Structure 1
Amino acid sequence: MPDTSGVTINHCYFFDKVVPFGDKHSLETDMKLANEIRRYKELADEGIITEEEFLQKKKQLLGL
């Protein structure tokens, strides 16, 4: 593993999309978004919605 001490990370990979780290408000918003996507994934895993419906909703939430 490379030494990353002193490295500033200003982006993260969020569900296959690179998003810049933001302020506290953005982090809270990102966490809400992640939780909502997880909720839809659980619905898909339980067969309540289809995998296609989940993927469509995920794209909508991520703005893709």
Structure 2
Amino acid sequence: MIEDREIWACAHQLMRQYGDVAWLHAAQRADELLASGDHEGHRVWMRILKHIEDLEKLEPEGRLQ
């Protein structure tokens, strides 16, 4: 299982890379993995998505600088 700090790091990187649409990238990836039958990968990306949502709540503009 992937540790929580790695999930936070992935979420943070996606926020830097995709800004306000990081959540969309994570959600699409989760959907792709579920459609391909990769349930563990889907769970990981859903965790990343949750952490992105948490980070957006911390940042007034939803972006990390």
TM-score normalised over the length of structure 2:
0.42
Hey, which of these two has a bigger chunk of strand by percent? Answer: 1
Hey, which of these two has a bigger chunk of helix by percent? Answer: 2
Q: RCO higher in 1 or 2 (8 Å CA, sep ≥ 6)? A: 2
TM-score normalised over the length of structure 1:
0.42
